A = this chain, B = another copy of it.
């Protein structure tokens, strides 16, 4: 499993940090990296930086060699970033300060676990280090429930979040079947609809919801939405809808951003942590479709941090991503990079980790490919279901009564 050792050996200390939105398997990557690092004598001290880059800037470091293997294994199974997280895009001044700290602590290995913004941070640190001739190997470890990192077939954190969404829709579809009406669920996903699309895994019978799925990849029209819901409701007497928080109008403006104004330092509008989008859509259906029972839930932070709903495949791959980042860094063939999950095409599920350039995953995101979205832009295709099913693994077994009807008596 370990990459070939070259003569390009660097001895020194390492630091690892977590950044961006947590997942339920992000600590698997942390623990994978720490346990791998312990195998390599050229890595001396293993520092954890608390709350991402902020920990380095403020010299808030902890000693990850002091953790017992048993506690590391428990932490690996624990949701959310054990080192703390941050959303911070470093300025050149921040980088200069970071290098001063790296120098002071003799840190030659820098590992940053996160999504596209965190990859951008790693890329900036790496570029600034090269410019200034500062010798540090910078590696990004892939992570995001949004599943929108380029170069990756899928990303650690996504499978477990998708499992949560699928289980939620399994129950919610049955809830809506027992008390019919329109139910709108708002799912995380700023630019990419993968997580919202995973709601389709909840379907077991032909009339199961979600009956409509709206993704950021297709322009969202309130008029079309109302017509779609009316049509399903007329056919089934009920309608379950999955809506991505990041749905956008034809001018690519997020529907939610019309009434939410907060942004972070990467320029992202805060879409989660508010029920406003769901309430807006529910109001629209009540008013325009004349359907009385309309409800909206916004799954919010539960999707990324719920304790106890984990995809086994996701946990395993997250661990491997952490290990492989250290393996690549130590091997020395490359001074920097990111881990990317690759997958063999075809029916047998087989994946591996490759090293890719930081610039290939930084900043920009990938979207649902066209073949995963139906022509009407309100559902997913079988190709998507084939893609996503192995990432999520087993779902709870559920059933229906045969409910053989009694003929009415005269």
Q: Which residues of A contact B (CB under 8 A)?
A: 18, 21-22, 24, 47-48, 50-51, 59-64, 66-68, 71, 74-75, 77-87, 104-105, 167-168, 170-172, 174-175, 177-179, 183, 272-276, 278-279, 282, 294-302, 304-309, 395-406, 408-409
Kindly state the separation between the CA atoms of A312 and B397 in the bound complex, as whole angstroms: 16
A273 and B296 form a contact (CB under 8 A): yes
Whether the pair A62, B273 counts as a contact (CB closer than 8 A) is no
Tell me if B77 and A401 are in contact (CB < 8 A): no
Return chain B residues, CB-CB under 8 Å to A59: 406, 408-409
A397 nearest CB across to chain B (Å): 6
Taking CB atoms, residues of chain B closer than 8 Å to A75 are 399-401
B78 near A400 (CB under 8 angstroms)?
yes
Given contacts A75-B400, A78-B400, contact A171 B295 (CB under 8 A): no
Distance A401 CA – B301 CA, assembled complex (angstroms): 22
Enumerate 14 A-B pairs (CB-CB under 8 Å) in ascending A order.
Answer: A50-B403, A60-B405, A71-B401, A78-B398, A83-B178, A85-B178, A167-B309, A171-B302, A171-B305, A172-B301, A175-B301, A273-B294, A298-B298, A298-B300
Determine whether the beta carbon of A306 is less than 8 Å from that of B83.
no
CA of A361 to CA of B59 in the docked complex: distance in angstroms? Answer: 61
Q: Is the CB of B175 within 8 A of A79?
A: yes
Interface SS majority for chain A: loop
CB-CB nearest 9 A-B residue pairs:
A275-B275, A273-B295, A74-B399, A297-B300, A80-B174, A171-B305, A170-B307, A81-B178, A308-B396
User: Do the beta carbons of B308 and A295 come within 8 Å of each other?
Assistant: no
Which residues in B have their C-beta under 8 angstroms from that of A86?
179
